[in-house]
């Protein structure tokens, strides 16, 4: 059964009536621009056609009651218990409920009304594989409260409140890309976000391609150390390069040409890390006219180059991710393949000719399993609409 029917039926069972509304918010995958968000660069995600659905109605009481159908669990909160992450009986909110409750908390903080609701929600976005199941819950609840509270916000504002919820209420240090893509997605189009100005627009994604996401089934190892180290290397590079390029704020401000001229002053490892960022930002710049002109193969080459650089310069790939990419790049119809997300495990993203996507997905999984002994998940996706009421 699809997750929207699952949510509606669970609502009927739990509350013995029909839900008044249905909200939907998709997951996302990033096609190009990796590890550049914290360097003021550009990211190029799409919202995917897997989503969280919430069936909901106003509660008529002061309790919000949430049913997480996929976990078969219920949680409650009121305006009074919300700031303490507690339920009315004093018990802590379960982890999954922190995402919707955090959204209510962030909306309240922005002076937006969040009337009590009763809701059941379900999703077909895999959890914790880097397709942003968490942001989709936040954005779907953002949409739900906007309809009950009778207010509206530009999607980017809703995204920023979702990020605030995840950073400060759930306690996960994510950037803006997840909530942004989930809120602002457009059918058949890729999004281009400037992580410095937060300006964005969409670009055409060739209609004769599909996106295939391949989950290596290796969970991202707790790599906050590795992540922080890379951030520190980028900051160190900016400080050193600023001696020759006064006024630069971030690696975004360093051209490939200046970098090649001045990078000999950097320690070897810092130089490799910074090279990835400077060249990746250049790749996203090159990608814009390619997409506008429908030059799909050339865009795919940039994805391949991104993977090589994440592997050799940024050092965030793993043998499993490399294997998945290597197999993909050898299959017919594959235009580009690379690891997506922070790395150290998780998923790859592949741009594949539409008519070959089925065969591609059928070959990729078994070949990976044969080589690694691991069982992967393969998802064929299309670029879909962002969060909204159905
Ligand atoms: P992702 O990469 O999928 O966003 P996160 O670790 O950021 O991974 O978020 C996953 C968390 O979001 C889960 O542990 C759970 O708390 C919550 N979540 C995701 N999907 C669901 C769902 N269908 N029902 C309830 N909670 C969910
Ligand atoms: Mg997440």
| Tokens (6 digits) for 16 | 């013995």
- Could you give the angle at which helices 98-109 and 155-164 cross, rounded to 10 degrees? 120
Place of tokens 């909204």: 388
- pLDDT for 223 equals 61
Check: CB of residue 140 under 8 Å from CB of residue 54: yes
Q: What Cα–Cα distance (Å) separates residue 22 from each residue in 25, 56, 174, 335?
A: 10, 6, 27, 37
68 close to ligand 1 (CB < 6 Angstrom) = yes
Residue pLDDT, tens place only, 208-242? 999 999 999 998 765 667 888 999 999 999 999 99
Residue pair 211/383 in contact by the 8 Å Cβ criterion: yes
pLDDT at 324: 98
Task: State pLDDT tens for residues 247-293.
Answer: 999 999 999 999 999 999 999 999 999 999 999 999 999 999 999 99
Task: State the pLDDT at residue 172.
Answer: 87
Distance CA 127, CA 336 (A): 25
Would the CB of 96 count as within 6 Å of ligand 1? Answer: yes
What per-residue confidence (pLDDT) applies to 76?
Answer: 98
Nearest to 22 by CA among 9, 34, 31: 9
Of 378, 380, 374, 379, give the one whose Cα is nearest residue 319. 374
Q: Which of 37, 40, 178, 253 is flagged as catalytic?
A: 178
Place of tokens 């989930």: 182
Active-site residue flag, 70 = no
| Best residue among 123, 134, 222 to mutate for probing ligand 1, ranked by most atoms within 8 Å of CB | 134
Contact, 220 vs 320, CB < 8 A? no
Q: Is 215 exposed, middle or buried (0-12, 13-18, 19+ CB in 10 A)?
A: buried
Whether residue 81 contacts residue 87, with contact meaning beta carbons closer than 8 Å, is answered with yes
- CA dihedral sign, ordered 223, 227, 232, 237: positive
- Could you give the angle at the alpha carbon of 263 between the alpha carbons of 262 and 267, nearest 5°? 140
Residue minimizing CA distance to atom 4 of ligand 1? 132
Quote the radius of gyration of the chain (alpha carbons, Å): 22
Cβ(3) – ligand 1 distance below 6 Å = no
HSE-up of 258 (CA within 13 Å, CB side)?
Answer: 18
Report the pLDDT value the prediction gives residue 219, as an integer from 0 to 100: 82
Extract the tokens encoding 59: 């509660």
Low-confidence ranges of the chain (pLDDT < 50): none
| Rounded-to-integer distance, Cα 16 and Cα 18, Å | 7
């Amino acid at each position: 059964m699809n997750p929207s029917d699952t949510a509606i039926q669970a609502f009927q069972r739990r509350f013995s009536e029909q839900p008044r509304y249905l909200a939907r918010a998709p997951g996302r995958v990033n096609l190009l621009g990796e590890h550049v968000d914290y360097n003021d660069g550009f990211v190029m995600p799409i919202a995917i056609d897997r989503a969280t659905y919430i069936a909901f109605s106003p509660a008529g009481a002061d309790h919000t009651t949430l049913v997480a159908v996929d976990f078969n669990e219920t949680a409650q909160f009121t305006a009074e218990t919300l700031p303490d992450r507690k339920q009315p009986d004093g018990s802590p909110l379960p982890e999954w409920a922190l995402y919707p409750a955090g959204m209510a908390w962030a909306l309240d903080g922005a002076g937006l009304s969040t009337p009590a609701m009763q809701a059941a929600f379900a999703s077909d976005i895999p959890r914790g594989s880097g397709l942003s199941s968490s942001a989709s819950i936040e954005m779907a609840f953002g949409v739900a409260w906007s309809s009950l509270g009778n207010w509206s916000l530009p999607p980017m504002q809703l995204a920023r409140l979702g990020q605030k919820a995840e950073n400060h209420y759930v306690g996960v240090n994510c950037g803006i890309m997840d909530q942004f893509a989930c809120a602002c997605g457009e059918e058949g189009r890729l999004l281009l976000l400037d992580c410095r100005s937060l300006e964005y627009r969409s670009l055409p994604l060739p209609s004769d391609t599909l996106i295939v996401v391949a989950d290596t089934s290796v969970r991202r190892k707790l790599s906050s150390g590795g992540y922080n180290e890379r951030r520190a290397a980028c900051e160190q590079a900016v400080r050193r390069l600023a001696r020759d390029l006064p006024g630069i704020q971030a690696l975004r401000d360093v051209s490939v040409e200046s970098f090649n001229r001045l990078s000999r002053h950097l320690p070897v490892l810092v130089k490799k890390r910074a090279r990835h960022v400077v060249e990746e930002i250049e790749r996203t710049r090159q990608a814009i006219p390619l997409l506008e002109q429908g030059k799909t193969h050339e865009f795919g080459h940039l994805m391949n180059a991104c993977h090589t650089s994440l592997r050799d310069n940024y050092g965030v790939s793993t043998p499993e991710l490399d294997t998945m990419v290597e197999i993909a790049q050898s299959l017919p119809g594959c235009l580009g393949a690379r690891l997506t997300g922070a790395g150290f495990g998780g998923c790859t993203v592949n741009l594949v000719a539409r008519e070959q996507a089925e065969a591609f997905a059928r070959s990729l999984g078994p070949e990976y399993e044969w080589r690694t002994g691991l069982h992967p998940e393969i998802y064929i996706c299309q670029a879909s609409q962002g969060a909204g009421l159905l």
